[in-house]
């Protein structure tokens, strides 16, 4: 049987079973479209997670602590060699130790990790908008990193500047229809500190209620120095602002 005969037979069979042929073709098209959609979705999620990891410096950050965390020992087993040493043998992370770490080859910056919740308020009176965010301290050397170069505005002038970096999504949360208008404006950062020494007995604390807790609030006027790129801080930028390291130390 020749090839032309086979082709004629195939065409004849397709004509006799048109409904089945059309359904088979539609099924193949739906399957191919679903496969492409899943691959595209997975690639998009991967890019988003990778961008978030880059924004949080998880690929090139080494965290140094002077004491083990609660996860160092599980079921009596030590997962780190130094977790079996007594606390007296541990070296505290001091400024001199940070200076020594900065002198190591390949180290761009060594700084204490400072992060704390804050309330950010824009405006006054009935038109004021307040949101809760997390303030993270960064050193001045981060101005060399692309992820921390503002898309609008500028980086901090100094380590003690009363300024912050935010994302466009944070500016929208503060009520700016156009995020770029936030650059140069002054917002108020409010920190709250709980004095554990003033709480007293647990029974007394329960009698007072939450309103009676010794909470000290401090307000800091902060200028919005710049807005980071939405793509470089797509996830964490929604609830995070960056402040200079020196300013964060004063706010603690």
Task: Show the beta-strand stretches assigned E in 103-198.
Answer: 115-122, 129-138, 152-153, 163-166, 186-194
- Nearest CA-CA partner of 153 in 118, 185, 116: 185
User: Do 119 and 232 fall within a single domain?
Assistant: yes
pLDDT of the residue at 74: 41
In this predicted model, what pLDDT tens digit does every residue of 155-205 receive, in sequence order?
Answer: 999 999 999 999 999 999 999 999 999 999 999 999 987 666 555 554 555
Q: Does 165 share its domain with 45?
A: no
Asked whether residue 163 falls in the same domain as residue 103, the answer is: no
Angle CA 144–150–152, to nearest 5 = 150
Q: What is the pLDDT of residue 159?
A: 92
Domain that holds residue 42: 3-55
Does residue 83 have a pLDDT over 80? Answer: no
The radius of gyration of the chain's CA atoms, rounded to the nearest angstrom, is 29
User: Are 12 and 33 members of one domain?
Assistant: yes
Mean pLDDT of all residues in 109-128: 88
pLDDT single digits (tens) 212-247:
566 788 999 999 999 988 766 545 667 889 999 999
User: Do 175 and 76 belong together in one domain?
Assistant: no
CA quadruple 53, 70, 133, 135: dihedral positive or negative? negative
Query: Do residues 88 and 205 share a domain?
Result: no
Please state the pTM of the whole predicted model. 0.64
Note whether 130 and 44 are same-domain residues: no
Residue 171 shares a structural domain with residue 105: no
Same domain, 216 and 142: yes
- The answer on 135 and 108 residing in a single domain is no
pLDDT attached to residue 52: 73
Residues 50, 59: Cα–Cα separation, whole Å: 9
Does residue 77 share a domain with residue 45?
A: no
Is residue 164 within 8 Å of residue 241, measured between CB atoms? yes
Provide the number of structural domains found in the chain: 3
Verify that 7 and 47 share a domain, yes or no.
yes
CA distance 168 to 151: 10
């Amino acid at each position: 049987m020749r090839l032309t005969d086979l082709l004629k037979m195939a065409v004849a069979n397709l004509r006799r079973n048109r409904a089945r042929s059309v359904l088979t073709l539609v099924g193949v098209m739906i399957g191919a479209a679903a496969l492409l959609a899943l691959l595209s979705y997975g690639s998009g999620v991967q890019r988003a997670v990778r961008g978030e990891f880059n924004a949080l410096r998880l690929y090139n950050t080494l965290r140094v602590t002077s004491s083990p965390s609660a996860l160092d020992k599980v079921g009596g087993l030590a997962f780190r060699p130094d977790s079996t040493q007594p606390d007296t043998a541990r070296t505290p992370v001091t400024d001199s130790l940070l200076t020594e770490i900065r002198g190591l080859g390949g180290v761009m910056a060594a700084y204490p990790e400072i992060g704390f919740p804050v309330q950010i308020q824009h405006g006054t009176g009935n038109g004021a908008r307040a949101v809760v965010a997390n303030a993270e301290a960064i050193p001045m050397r981060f101005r060399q990193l692309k992820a921390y170069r503002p898309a609008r505005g500028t980086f901090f002038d100094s380590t003690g500047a009363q300024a912050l970096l935010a994302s466009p999504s944070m500016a929208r949360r503060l009520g700016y229809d156009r995020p770029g208008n936030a650059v140069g404006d002054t917002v108020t950062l409010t920190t709250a500190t709980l004095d554990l020494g003033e709480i007293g007995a647990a029974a007394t604390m329960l009698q007072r209620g939450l309103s009676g807790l010794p909470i000290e609030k401090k307000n800091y006027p902060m200028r919005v120095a710049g807005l980071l790129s939405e793509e470089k801080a797509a996830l964490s930028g929604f609830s995070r602002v960056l402040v200079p390291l020196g300013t964060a130390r004063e706010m603690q």
